[in-house]
Structure 1
Amino acid sequence: MKKSILLACAMIASTTSFASEHEHAHWGYTGDGAPENWASLTGDNFACTGKNQSPINLTGFIESELAPIVFHYQAGGNEIVNNGHTVQVNYQKGSYIEIDGKQFNLLQFHFHAPSENHINGEAYPLEGHLVHADKDGNLAVIAVMFKEGYENKGLAAAWKQIPMHEGDKHAFSASVDALDILPENKDYYRFNGSLTTPPCSEGVRWFVMKEAVTASKAQIEAFKATMHGANNRPLQDVNSRVILK
């Protein structure tokens, strides 16, 4: 296999099932497995000290003619999993986005509370990450911020069977549509970054929706109750990267 495909397999394993080698390293968000110690838990996490890490505070934008993301989503969320680090909706094949002349297939979406990325210094109570991969294993993440307000249609569908305990998994009786958690306006900010969980692999395209969506207080609290604490990685240095808008 090509080196890029091998790397991508490791990255996707981390974002979808958190491969057993990383589980054995006992990474988390507090104590000895906290983010500041991720790089020392296993040699596989060497990238956690890299120069292009996520999340970041999005500010100091560079004006750019960003091409629209073309969405080809269908209702394909078929199961919801609590893996101890997040609650994740796994997606059937067939949904994808087009950007940079490539097709990136939607693999899953998951959540962090509070938000990992900030926008102009502002944090949000909840952030969703929609994880995609192209045919060569290159990753693209669409991030959407949730502010407290009206109930979110997409979350309502997923949270009907929200798994409350680590290791719980539930199949949906009706497929969930990822479009229901995205804003109507799909304008975005863009930067190059990494996975926000071990192994922190870099080379990830990040597209952060400019427009936040709402979630009810009850929906936000329901997610937080499953995690028993915050599951957000602290902000990382932007270094020499540019953030486009």
Structure 2
Amino acid sequence: MTTTETHRPDSTAEREDEAIGNEYGGPRVVVSERHHLEPGETERWTDAERLWWSLGPFAGEIPGLVRRVRRILDVSQRGLAKLLGVSQSVVARWETGRTSPRAIVLHRLLDMANVKIGLTDKDSGEVVEPMRDDGARNRAGSRFPAHADLKAKGWWIPRHLRTWTTNDAYRWHKRSRLAEQPSIGYRASRHWKRLEREVWGTPIDHPAHHQVVAELHARDEQRMERRRQAA
């Protein structure tokens, strides 16, 4: 059950909560964590109480992050809006959770506050990094699908020569090796990815271009070594 009460704060944290509540012209809304809001409960609240609830007892998330940036920079909503080139009402909507800043604006906010955000796995607590920016790309310069597992197939040769052992195919192979232009394939099928991951493990990211090239050069050296031993 949700209760609304005005009382004398007994601790520093409560005094801070009371100050924030008074800032928005209303008493502090106390919500027990053991209960959920009843249907229609918020309809009896004042505007100040609804605003406090939108800012209040939750883990912070985007509204809390925006307010933390404001606190670090020691600016008002109007001051932050001026720094970002937006209106004060936009910042107010971010802090009440009615809208959220775009990712590029959020990145700018964190940069202004000299803060770096991190991601962790909920179950294991391990740090989750963004996918690398220098991941291998196809010959058109486009990224491969993020959910695909990349595989170095060899040095690139035109498609119509891949099934033939000809002088043209050999020349293209040699040219691509000197220019370090690999042929990269990938698995997007869930079935084949599951089978290959059971054998080779699950890659955490796409390899970089230089890693694919190094792998192919290592294969060439191993192949030449086997030929020398056979000879």
For normalisation by structure 2, the TM-score amounts to: 0.22
The structure whose Rg is larger is: 2
Q: Whose strand proportion is higher, 1 or 2? A: 1
For normalisation by structure 1, the TM-score amounts to: 0.21
Task: Return the structure number with greater relative CO, CA threshold 8 A, min gap 6.
Answer: 1
